[in-house]
Amino acid sequence: MKNSLPILFSFVLFFSGCSQYDKILPELSFKNDNALLPTITFKTSKVGDVYIEYWPDDNSNRRQRSKVSNGQNHSLTLFNLKPSTKYNYVVRNISVNSTSEEFSFMTSALPAEMLKVEKVLIDSAQFDGYVLVRMLSEFSADVLIDKEGDIVWYNAYDTIVRRSFIWTQKNTLLSGYDTARIVEYDIYNNKILDIDLGKIGVGNSIHHEVIFNDQDEVVALTLDSMKMDLRKIGGNEDQYIRADGIIRFDKKGKKLWEWNLLDVYDPIVEFKGTYNPKQSLGHANSLTIDTDGHYLISFRDFDQIWKVNSEDGAVIWKLGKDGDFNMDMNNYFIAQHSIYFNTLGELVLFDNGNKERPNSRVLSFRLDDKAMNANISTHISLPTELSASKMCSAEMIEEGKYLVCNSSNKGTIAIVNERAEILWRVDLSHPSYRAYYLKNPFEGVQ
């Protein structure tokens, strides 16, 4: 969808350190038709290093700068902008220590199908940073919302995408495009990785989680199937059972390691309940990597988190009801999502709950795997409007403040304190499987 046709501007730039005018013809376009990625293209009379400094017309103190461009022909894409807004800019020439006169441009309106954000409670003093969400609909997009509740960046897809997405430590977006394809984009919407598992002979379906490990290898949750006699757990004779697993491969798609729940778990003996063939056994929904390199996997239907050896696939321990840790039964979690380690080394999760305990909770644990004690550190019982029986996430953005994503209706993103008081909140027109806090993905981008 076209947001704007390229607009040609004819300006005369005067660099104060030069003895002549530098006549250029800047052209404004929008990268990949993205309303929030304007690109300014121009030519200077001499080779040099230049960058663009830009700011909203109504606030000259909110200045940002582009990356540096070297040469004579320059094309600079700007970011962290708000839609339908006038911005002013100057070109700074580092090579001759000069600044152009002031120019301006308008960002385009967001696509009509784009996620809508309703500002319910905006207090920009409550946090400093951005929130990443994924719009799940026929028009799918990953979206960054700033502390003022405005969309300032997005990456749109040409189809419905899956739930798995994450902002990486490399300042990129890693995403499950569908059950057999993984893509990665930089902040300029450039695709820098595209792995089609079907083309490389990996039959597993990926779901819920795709991440990088410390070796820059891809680790994902997968589904695989095998035939079993499932009559004892409510299934049929000679029926396929779907079970979750973990797969690791390099960026060329070479499979390096895989594990499946059925390697260590006999559903006929151990499963307590009735198997639903429409879902995977255990319903894994989250994956993270411990400091020792081993995997933690969240099984929603087991109400447990397992630690799995990343080399031999052995189960190291299980956390939760009927698990291996000593823990207060009041801290047992139900249908949990979104596990990760915070900066304090605590394991954080979103405890969804169920009909008997409908209020969801934010929990974090200090795990002592020597004495096998799970000590509660954070225990926040959320209000009804932030509770949900499925999906959702919780993340500590600083001590005492948590980002909570709720997807029970359309979508709610909130910042809460340890007393479950809502400090900041926006409602979304479409749900997001999770929300991530980003400090400043635009800082120092080159």
**CATH number (domain holding residue 27):** 2.60.40.10
pLDDT higher than threshold 70 for residue 2: no
Please indicate, yes or no, whether residues 143 and 35 belong to a single structural domain of this protein: no
**For the residues 256-285, what does the mean pLDDT come to?**
85
Please indicate, yes or no, whether residues 309 and 410 belong to a single structural domain of this protein: no
**What pLDDT is attached to residue 4?**
40
Please indicate, yes or no, whether residues 40 and 184 belong to a single structural domain of this protein: no
Please indicate, yes or no, whether residues 298 and 418 belong to a single structural domain of this protein: no
CA neighbor of 302 nearest in space, from 324, 328, 335: 335
Q: Note the pLDDT tens digit of each residue in 190-225.
A: 999 999 988 877 777 899 999 999 999 999 999 988
Q: Which domain holds residue 247?
A: 162-324
pTM assigned to the model: 0.91
Q: How long a stretch of residues is the chain?
A: 446
Please indicate, yes or no, whether residues 317 and 176 belong to a single structural domain of this protein: yes
Please indicate, yes or no, whether residues 37 and 74 belong to a single structural domain of this protein: yes
The answer to whether residue 55 is domain-embedded is yes
For the four alpha carbons of 65, 66, 68 and 72, in that order, the dihedral sign comes to negative
Please indicate, yes or no, whether residues 167 and 271 belong to a single structural domain of this protein: yes
CA neighbor of 420 nearest in space, from 434, 440, 436, 406: 406
Q: Note the pLDDT tens digit of each residue in 106-127.
A: 999 999 999 999 999 999 999 9
The answer to whether residue 2 is domain-embedded is no
316 touches 310 (CB < 8 A)? no
Burial class (CB in 10 A: 0-12, 13-18, 19+), 426: buried
Counting the structural domains of the chain, the total is 3
The phi and psi torsions of 365 (rounded to 5 degrees) equal -125, 145
**What pLDDT is attached to residue 238?**
87
CA neighbor of 146 nearest in space, from 261, 56, 22, 208: 56
Of 324, 357, 382, which residue constitutes the final position of a domain? 324
**What pLDDT is attached to residue 21?**
47
55 touches 49 (CB < 8 A)? no
